[in-house]
Structure 1
Amino acid sequence: MQSDSPQQRKKPSIYAAPPAEILLLDTPSALEAHIGTARRAVTGRYLEAHAHVQGLVSSWIGVENRVEHRIKSLLPPDERLVPGALYAAIAFLSGAILARHRALPIRAILPPVLGVAAATHFLPKTSANVGDYLGGLEDHYAPEVARVHEVGKAHTRMTWDRLSEGVEGGRARVREGVLAAVERLQGATGLKVREALGVARSIEEKAEKVIEEKIADFEGVVEKTEKKAEEAAKDRVV
């Protein structure tokens, strides 16, 4: 009798056989592929739009910061803006009211002239800073216009100096004529007209000093009232 081989005599394992590995391939359908492509395209467009909007916001914030810095540089710390700006606005509106029945050039020129004159008087440092800034812009972007502007200002300054000299000369001649007439009148009549004019002049100077003192006192009272109002407003806020 033929004996069994060792492999044939091997006993079966008491454990279950390990499961066979099954590899599943996830093959998307055509619809899923189209949906994925569309989703990726939309996501890319959204990211591009978001980056563009963020760039615009950053640019706008930069513009705001530059404008704020420029305005702060134009406003001197020792000059209050509120009263002077109100006076300039009132002068501008007054010019518009005065020129409303005049010719078109006068209606176009008078309000800004009065407004600029009032701003120059009540806000001299701010007006000077604004003028320098506008002059710098003019020199940078329109040098030819700036050159013509400078020539015009030079001619205007020369004309004003000549007018001032003429007015001063006229005043001097009038004063000399009046003094000569007073001397002749005093010599002919014996009246002390010159002394009387001197007394009147001294009285006028005293009256001017009193008026200036009253104006200064009134301004001091107004400043104190404004300070009290500001303190009261701060207390209310607190």
Structure 2
Amino acid sequence: MQSDPPQQRKKLSIYPAPPEDILLLDTPSVLETHIGTVRRTLTGRYQEAHAHVQGLISRWIGVENRVEHRIKSLLPPDERLVPGVLYVAIAFLSGSVVARHRALPIRALLPPTLGIAAAVRFLPKTSSNVREYVGALEDHYTPEVARVHETGKAHSAMAWARVSESAAGARETVRGGVLAAVAQVQGATGLRLGEALGVARDMEEKAEKIVEEAVAQLEGAVDKGEKKA
């Protein structure tokens, strides 16, 4: 029987063997894991707070821009604001001084009344714009109050018309009484008072025209104020 060949031995190399690669695994500790989680959480909260603050600042800037635009729209370019505001402030303070020792309703109502009157007198266009803006706000937010105001304006106009009609009727009544008295005197004495009172009639007609023109101007001013309000 033939025996197996002897096992060949491995031939050694004359060169040194290359170093083997060592793989290192970076495994964080439990403390490092907790620190990383806390840091990421704080970073996220900071970014959320920063975004919230930036949103608030943007909204506030928008409000400032709207307020500035509204104020500029209320101030007419052809009306000087500085002296008018001073006059309004003086009227308000004067009302406070005058009503200092008065009753409580007078102390509460007199200063704003004088201030509003001064504003209407010295800042008519600005006051008109403010009234229109306040009326628009009433129509939008408080329509019931706006309807009450409109009803009050209508009643005021009706009362003014009745006063005007009453004044005209009283004037006609007085004129008729004067003419009747003149006729009676003429019939009893034979004096021509009608001719003697011709100049007086002319003066009366002129006075009536002046009164009618003044009443018409006053009515126009009231109607204009109601339309602006």
- Correspondence for 2:14: 12
2:136 equivalent to 1:136? yes
Please name the residue that 2:218 is paired with: none
Match of 1:215 in 2: none
* Greater Cα shift, 61-70 or 156-165: 156-165
Where does residue 104 of structure 2 map in the other structure?
A: 104
Tell which has more relative contact order, 1 or 2 (C-alpha 8 A, sep 6+): 2
TM-score (norm 1): 0.64
Distance 1:64 1:91, change over 3 A: same
The two structures, once aligned, show a CA RMSD in angstroms of 3.3
Does the C-alpha gap of structure 1 residues 138 and 90 become closer, same or farther in structure 2, counting only changes over 3 Å?
same
Corresponding letter in the other structure for 2:120: T
**1:153 positional shift:** 2.0
5+ residue gaps, structure 2, are: 175-192, 194-199, 204-229
**How many equivalent residue pairs?**
177
The percent of aligned pairs where both chains have the same amino acid is 70
Q: Which amino acid aligns with 2:53?
A: V
State the partner residue of 1:158.
Answer: 158
TM-score normalised per structure 2: 0.66
Counterpart residue number, 2:53: 53
Alpha-carbon separation, structure 2, partners of 1:167 and 1:94: 36
CA distance in 2: counterparts of 1:130 and 1:51, whole angstroms: 37
Q: Residues 60 and 99 of structure 1: is their aligned pair in 2 closer, same or farther, counting only changes over 3 Å? A: same
Deviations 1:93-125, CA, capped at 9 Å, x for gaps:
111111111111111111111111110111111
Question: For residues 21-170 of structure 1, what are the structure 2 equivalents within 5 Å?
Answer: 21-163=21-163
Q: Distance in 1 between matches of 2:169 and 2:122?
A: 30
Equivalent position of 2:215 in the other structure: none
Measured after TM superposition, the shift of residue 17 of structure 1 is 3.5
In 2 relative to 1, CA 88–159 (structure 1 residues): closer, same or farther, beyond 3 Å? farther
Q: Deviations over 1:139-196 (max 9, x none)?
A: 000001110011112222333455566678889999xxxxxxxxxxxx9xxxxxx9xx
In the TM superposition, what is the alpha-carbon distance from 1:18 to its structure 2 partner?
2.9
Q: Distance in 1 between matches of 2:120 and 2:100?
A: 24
- Over 3 Å counting, the alpha-carbon distance change for 1:169 and 1:95 in structure 2 is farther
* Distance across 2 between alignment mates of 1:122 and 1:171: 36
CA offset at residue 19 of structure 1? 2.3
Q: Distance in 2 between matches of 1:84 and 1:170?
A: 41
Distance in 2 between residues matched to 1:46 and 1:105, nearest whole Å: 55
Structure 2 distance, partners of 1:71, 1:84, is 16
Which SS does the other structure have where 2:27 is aligned? Answer: coil
Q: How many angstroms apart in 2 are the aligned matches of 1:167 and 1:114?
A: 29
Q: Which deviates more, 100-109 or 128-137?
A: 100-109
Q: Distance in 2 between matches of 1:171 and 1:114?
A: 34
SS for the counterpart of 2:20 is: coil
Amino acid of the structure 1 residue aligned with 2:89: A
Unaligned runs of 5+ in 1: 175-186, 188-193, 198-238
Change (3 A) 1:12 1:127: same
Closer/same/farther in 2, CA of residues 157 and 104 from structure 1, 3 Å limit: farther
Pick which of 55-64 and 108-117 moved more. Answer: 108-117
